[in-house]
Structure 1
């Protein structure tokens, strides 16, 4: 006979949106995003990655994306709690894209509505690279996007702070108490 604990799985439902980005040097911005989890997490439904539309704000420096996020997981262990990984790009008048910043934030582990500010950074090159980027575009980018959220070799990077991605996230936890986890 299968016990009640074996038939019930802990679940996490993340519902929210990428509100927008502010503080970036360019105005026409869009964001690529993904949710990274550990091996104990099983994706049930919803998109784990996506891209916003380009916004060119007429007033202020805040790009408004209002891009929805709705993803549902079952959980075998809390190791590898979800991280939101973002890459912000600018679009120039010729249709070229340039990296504006990388960033990540751990998503909240408590149920309820949360407002998160995800700060971003970009790698810097030599003085010549930075000068060329100002006039031609195309600055340095990471070969491996995993460096954004894993600290293995990130300490060797030279970076500069960029803008902030604003996130609104609602977290719904289900059946965690069956496994002795209180929140």
Structure 2
């Protein structure tokens, strides 16, 4: 009687992983009407993304407006984080919120802003337009003035989402400048080219024809 040999189960193929490395600094801000400001930043990404190293959030020191002709708030606060993912969907965004102290000595938001990180490697300078929630009526403005509390979001990361944003009344004020260096690794395995130095990806479909996808 022949012996039965155990069947060999092939391990499931893992989805290719690529890396996104970001370093730089929260450079400066422009808020002509205020003084003594600090900045809070965080990165928001999709479910398939994970932080490999570095910090995905932080808070800068408080600074006064410079006396030069530009009158900027200079932080030069370093940021350094590395992400990994198997899917470009949910590409990371940086969310920035700026705070100051009002006349009652309470922290008050001066502006929110967010932007997607660049998909191309290299040095980038991002200028984020800032905004704050606006009161919808004179009564709510008066109540905010009495209690020394201007409208603000419970979670600053809310601004990185599209859902519910169309119902929010806002007012533009100020800008924040972020300078960053972007490096990607193995993004071509997903069928995308983020730079001239990466291999040219080839994706074969059911008809055995190849095509190239370039970001």
Q: CA RMSD in A?
A: 2.5
**Which structure features the higher share of strand residues?**
1
When structure 1 is superposed on structure 2, of 61-70 and 139-148 the one drifting more is 139-148
Report the equivalent of 2:208.
none
Corresponding residue for residue 22 of structure 2: 14
String of CA shifts for 1:35-55, please: whole Å, max 9, x gaps. 001011121010000001011
Q: Which runs of 5+ in 1 are unaligned?
A: none
Could you list the per-position Cα deviations for residues 104-160 of structure 1 after superposition, in whole angstroms to 9, with x for gaps in the alignment?
Answer: 011101100000001111011132444565687420112343431112111111111
TM-score, length of structure 2 as denominator length: 0.76
Aligned to 1:100: 110
CA distance in 2, matches of 1:107, 1:174: 15
How many residues are treated as equivalent by the alignment?
Answer: 182
Q: 2:157 and 2:15 mapped to 1: Cα distance?
A: 34
- Which residue of the other structure, out of 35, 46, 50, is the alignment partner of 2:54? 46
Larger C-alpha radius of gyration, 1 or 2? 2
4+ residue runs of structure 1 moved beyond 6 angstroms?
none
Task: Compare 133-142 and 169-178 and name the one that shifted more.
Answer: 133-142
* Change over 3 Å in CA distance of 1:26–1:145 after alignment to 2: same
Worse-matched range after superposition: 110-119 or 132-141: 132-141
- Residue 158 of structure 2 is aligned to residue 147 of structure 1: yes
Per the alignment, residue 5 of structure 2 pairs with none
Corresponding residue to 2:79 among 61, 69, 94: 69
Cα pair distance change 1:63/1:134, threshold 3 Å:
farther
Tell me: higher relative CO, structure 1 or 2? Use CA pairs within 8 A at least 6 residues apart.
1
